[in-house]
């Protein structure tokens, strides 16, 4: 009986984890940013200085409610998962980690899809505003040390895949 309960518990935990990972990595939360192709998955492709391409499956934060919520209260983020914050115009972006349980890298991206700065390993629950002192239109949040692991740096280029051009516009 105990063995059956343990297997049932393990199966439930696995299903919950799989659901959380798939939602975290692929769902668009903004109603105005629905990809035009059926079953399209929003992605950001980063190209480092060595020419290596790294693809991140992203959730989109392209309106005030989703940008304010961000990744707060999440317990995990898929290895190649992230959240792309989309703003209507370039601005000096500053983020904090209030109620964010996952250590993150924050990649600030200009309107012409170039990384203009990176905040590395932002600590969970830290309420200190973190920015890079350069205006940006987009911010990509990924797991801490993602940038270092994949040799992503300022000046590297990004491409948006299955993300409508109209996302984040007022």
Question: Residue 2: what pLDDT?
Answer: 46
Dist. CA 81–CA 56, nearest whole Å: 5
| pLDDT band, very low/low/confident/very high, at 137 (cuts 50, 70, 90) | very high
Is pLDDT of 21 > 70?
A: no
Residues 118, 132: contact at Cβ < 8 Å?
yes
Q: Is the pLDDT of residue 10 over 50?
A: no
> What sign does the CA torsion over 105, 123, 83, 26 have?
positive
Q: Which domains does the chain have, with CATH numbers?
A: 2-161 (2.60.120.1140)
State the chain's mean pLDDT as an integer: 83
Alpha-carbon gap, residue 41 to 97, rounded angstroms: 26
- The pLDDT, as a whole number, for residue 30 is 62
């Amino acid at each position: 009986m105990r063995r059956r309960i343990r297997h049932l518990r393990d199966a439930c935990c696995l299903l919950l984890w799989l659901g959380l990972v798939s939602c975290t990595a692929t769902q668009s939360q903004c109603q105005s940013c629905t990809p035009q192709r059926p079953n399209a998955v929003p992605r950001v492709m980063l190209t480092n200085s060595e020419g290596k391409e790294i693809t991140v499956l992203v959730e989109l934060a392209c309106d005030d409610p989703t940008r304010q919520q961000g990744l707060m209260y999440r317990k995990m983020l898929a290895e190649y998962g992230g959240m792309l914050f989309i703003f209507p115009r370039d601005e000096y972006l500053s983020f904090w980690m209030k109620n964010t349980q996952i250590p993150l890298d924050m990649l600030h991206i200009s309107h012409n899809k170039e990384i203009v700065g990176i905040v590395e390993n932002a600590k969970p629950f830290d309420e200190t505003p973190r920015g890079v002192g350069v205006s940006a239109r987009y911010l990509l949040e990924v797991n801490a040390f993602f940038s270092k692991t994949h040799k992503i740096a300022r000046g590297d280029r990004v491409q948006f895949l299955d993300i409508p051009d109209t996302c984040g516009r007022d």
